[in-house]
Amino acid sequence: MQNIINFFLKNRFFFLFLVLLMLSMFFTIRSHSYHKSKFINSANWVTGGLYQTANNISAYFGLKEYNRQLVEENKRLRTLLFNRSHPYPDSIPEDSTLLPGKPGYVIRNASVIKNSYHSPKNYLTLNKGENDSIAQDMGVITSNGIVGIVDNTSGNYATVQSVLNTLTRINAQLKNTNHFGTLKWDGNSENTVQLVDISRIAPLKKGDTIITGGMSTIFPKGIPIGTIKNFALDISENYYIINVKLFNDMTSLSHVYVIENTNRKEIIELEQSVNE
């Protein structure tokens, strides 16, 4: 305490100067409208800057929650979109976004915690699994397009067979026509896959959009895949081999959506009974 008193005594002339300076500024600002307006404008500028900085900091730390809300909203909208023209499910999972009385696709969100794209057989790992109702053979997409198909699951995680996997086969079609083919990957480019078995009579042009065909129980029809990069006839000259530039950047994936077809089991059982 004595040290503090000694400090003020030692610097008493400096503190006296500060007090007199503040008093003089106060009386000057109070008695002159010009100085008063300048002071108010300056004060507003300073406080406005402080408020803006505080708001920016608050917004930054709120991004995680904001992104979570966006993911949930996208999930809900995609559920409604995929269910516009499909049969109604008999039951609705409790953790889904499927609305009562709506048709049979359920959308769940997940995050990518591992992603490979350099090898011929690439896989992703998601942070959700069986405990989150994720199962084998569910489709995986992003807001831009397809990612792959769920391959294996554990309680809390799932592996996804990437579209950049030489074993992957996905039903796809030309957006502007009803010409269907099979999407696969030749193992070369990380942003280009191949669409094969498209009839030579199909009208093609560079830049045409390729979408999922819907002739499987994994992906609904109409999910974006990419655009035609170039094309050529195969050896038999009856079918096209089309190079498709993916909409998704498969080297940079974060949030994904997992699609469950609640009618898948019924469809498979029916098809198996026909084959038998």
The per-residue pLDDT for 210 is 95
Contact of 54 with 62, CB cutoff 8 Å: no
Instruction: Return the SS3 of 264.
Output: helix
Q: What pLDDT tens digit does each residue of the chain (276 aa) get? A: 666 777 666 777 777 777 777 777 666 656 655 545 554 555 444 444 554 565 555 555 556 665 665 666 666 666 666 666 544 334 434 444 443 333 588 889 899 999 999 999 999 999 999 999 999 999 999 888 999 999 999 999 999 999 999 999 999 999 988 899 999 999 999 999 999 999 999 999 999 999 999 888 899 888 999 999 999 998 888 999 999 999 999 999 988 999 999 888 888 888 888 766
The CA distances from residue 276 to 67, 151, 215, 216, 269, in Å, are 49, 26, 20, 19, 11
The per-residue pLDDT for 273 is 81
What domains can be seen in the chain, in order of their start residue?
2-61 (no CATH), 105-275 (2.40.10.340)
Closest to 174 in 3D by CA, of 142, 112, 132, 222: 222
The per-residue pLDDT for 267 is 83
Closest to 124 in 3D by CA, of 256, 259, 260: 256
Strands in 37-166 per DSSP E = 105-115, 121-126, 139-141, 146-153, 158-165
Whole-angstrom distance, CA of residue 212 vs CA of residue 198: 14
Contact of 196 with 242, CB cutoff 8 Å: yes
Q: Which residues of 31-65 are buried (b: 16+ CB within 10 A; e: fewer)?
A: eeeeeeeebeeeeeeeeeeeeeeeeeeeeeeeeee
Query: Which amino acid makes up residue 52?
Result: Q
Query: Which amino acid makes up residue 204?
Result: L
